[in-house]
Structure 1
Amino acid sequence: MAKTNYSFEKRQRELAKKKKQDSKQAKKMASRDEAKPEPANAKTAPDEQA
C-alpha cells in the first residue's frame, strides 16, 4: 500500500486557505472603494490656477 503524502495535502490546504483569504481581501477592498467614491471636482494640480 502506498504511503500518504501529508506534506502535499498540507500544501494544498495552505493554497486553498490563501486563495480564500485573497478573495475576501479583494471583496473588502471593493466594498470600501464603493463606499467612499472620490469627488469628481477634486483639484489635480494646484499650479493650474495661475
Structure 2
Amino acid sequence: MPTPNYGYEKRQRELEKKRKKEEKAQAKAARKAERPHEGGDAVPPDHAVTDDADGAGDGGGDGGGGD
C-alpha cells in the first residue's frame, strides 16, 4: 500500500481555500457594484469635506491667538 502524500493533499486544500476566497471577493464586488450609493459608507452632508485649502473661516488652526 502506498504512503499518503500529505504535501499534495495540503496543497489541494490550500488551492480550494484560495478559490473560495476569490469567489467570495468577486461576489462581494458584484454586490457592491449593484448598490454603489447605499450603505453606511456615505458621509453626511454636514460633515462633507470642502475645497477650502487654507481652512480660513472654520475656526481651526493651531488655536493660538498670538498671546
TM-score (norm 1): 0.70
Counting aligned pairs with the same residue, the percent is: 46
Provide, for residues 1-49 of structure 1, a one-character-per-residue CA deviation record: whole Å limited to 9, x for no partner: 2110000000000000000000000000000011117xxxxxxxxxxxx
- Correspondence 1:32 to 2:32: yes
Pick 1 or 2: higher relative contact order, CA cutoff 8 A, min separation 6. Answer: 2
Q: What TM-score do you get using the length of structure 2 for normalisation?
A: 0.53
Is 1:21 aligned to 2:16, yes or no?
A: no
More helix by share: 1
**Runs of 4+ in structure 1 displaced over 3 angstroms?**
none
- Matched AA of 2:14: E
Unaligned ranges ≥5, structure 2:
38-67
Task: State the number of aligned residues.
Answer: 37
